[in-house]
Structure 1
């Protein structure tokens, strides 16, 4: 598979502005982002790239900061080689060690996850994934049935399995993420995880004890009613992929319509993860 790499350089951009741009690019189909010395690179499947759509996104920011960008076709093999050069192991809460296949194991940590993300989002390095993993590490998931929406590499579902979850369903609308989740589950010897490619329409008519949803505000707002229908009374939802203001309040208000109540939230940089409980 081929990809398009759009490399941005900036002058006078604030970190929150960069995060907002990345969020808008994600909604436009870009699925992987890599920091550079002077900006970042964004990646999208070759067949999904649309120059007009990119121009529409950038038009929203034309008065906020100065930028330049270049567009390059890149082969999947080249991307993986570049990713391997830059990927560093990560430790979450002194409990979970995340590494790639080419890193040495560290058995002193309670949980070890091996991830080869390819083009899929979710190595734990982004603040949203880190905070979601912190929530999982502090939760009792023993015997629970877990739904992971927007699963990316499957890293959250894999950690939930290692925390004792009984059955897990991981869903993403990107075929690369779907395949990556299956491969990573196998790498981690997780056998109780089922993956599916699609959106809220493929969530089964079943009941889950815990829902993990690290996506973005607009998709979350659209899907909360569906989550409410499959979450057990007293069950937990962990959300991330949005900002404290105004996003958290908007999500809280939408959840109230379905008897889902805010419990607490974490903040890392400009990003937020939040815990809600039904009933």
Structure 2
């Protein structure tokens, strides 16, 4: 399968926004560069009209320029090795790929070989979710990771002492990649395939993790609330800071109260608790 390659130059503060937007229209791999991002989409089902509209909507504000090319099937592992750097979330966790050296001065370590999946800790939403996980007691808890991606949040829950972790994603590539990452980190569970309605997880879960996007979170909020026991926690991210009120207002009638919010690079994350 051939891929279309777009080398996009843009303002630094728009990189993650563009990655999120492009992922919504079929792009499945990204590399951050010194001047912007390289974005890749399968040629076979590329939506050029949606791509053109997206670029035009950000062109002026983000100062976008781009070049387009075509490339044959890529050795994505090799590409990630060239461009993937380890990250640290405070002293809580060191996230690295298998080709990086371990670091001893962290409470936990996660090994992620991301291939084309999302959730490596580099994105501001994943970073904040990991930090918020570190603030909650996972010991002996049942944890549900909704839209698990690479599986990084499920792995974090396991390292923090969760008794049971369930995870799923709508993308079969993410499921395969997530299961590989589970194996690398000693998490003996399998990631499910489908939406939360299709997978139909059976509660209660004391902690639910959902790093997706605003529309999905709003659509599924009542399901999350129904799976949580009293005093259970719901961690949300995947939306911009200007969307916080919409999420909080949707959660409150369901008995979910805001405990904490954070923001990084205009991306927000929330900790909610059920009454």
TM-aligned CA distance change 1:276 to 1:69, over 3 Å? same
* TM-score, normalised via structure 1 length: 0.90
CA 1:138–1:36: 2 relative to 1, 3 Å: same
Instruction: Spell out, residue by residue over 1:32-90, the C-alpha distance to the aligned partner (whole angstroms, 9 max, x if none).
Output: 33221222122334444221221232242355344232333445543321210121222
Partner SS for 1:84 = helix
Candidates 180, 192, 195, aligned match of 2:191:
195
Which residue in 1 is equivalent to 2:169? 172
The one of 20, 38, 48 aligned to 1:23 = 20
| TM-fit CA distance, 1:9 | 1.7
Unaligned 5+ segments in structure 1 are none
Counterpart among 143, 149, 154 of residue 152 in structure 1: 149
Q: CA deviation at 1:275?
A: 0.4
- Tell me the distance in 2 between the aligned counterparts of 1:188 and 1:164: 13
SS at 2:222's partner residue? helix
Alignment of 1:118 onto 2:115:
yes
Tell me which of 126, 134, 137 is aligned to 2:134. Answer: 137
Q: How has the CA–CA distance of structure 1 residues 2 and 167 changed in structure 2, closer, same or farther, with 3 Å as cutoff?
A: farther
Which residue pairs with 2:216 in the alignment?
Answer: 219
Structure with the bigger percentage of strand: 1
Structure 1 residue ranges (4+ consecutive) displaced by more than 6 angstroms after TM superposition: none
Alpha-carbon displacement from aligned partner over 1:235-261 (angstroms, at most 9, x marks no partner): 11111111111x000001111231111
Residues 24-43 of structure 1 aligned to structure 2 (within 5 Å): 24-43=21-40
State the alpha-carbon separation in 1 of the partners of residues 187 and 62 from structure 2.
45
- Aligned partner of 2:6 in structure 1 is 6
Q: Could you list the per-position Cα deviations for residues 171-217 of structure 1 after superposition, in whole angstroms to 9, with x for gaps in the alignment?
A: 111111111110000011111x3301211222425111111111111
Residues 259-278 of structure 1 aligned to structure 2 (within 5 Å):
259-278=255-274
What RMSD over aligned residues (CA atoms) do the two structures have, in Å? 2.0
In 2 relative to 1, CA 263–119 (structure 1 residues): closer, same or farther, beyond 3 Å? same
**Conserved 8 A contact 1:168-1:194:** no
- Aligned counterpart, 2:246: 250
Residues 1:20 and 1:107: Cα distance change in structure 2 (over 3 Å): closer
Quote how far apart the aligned CAs of 1:168 are: 1.2
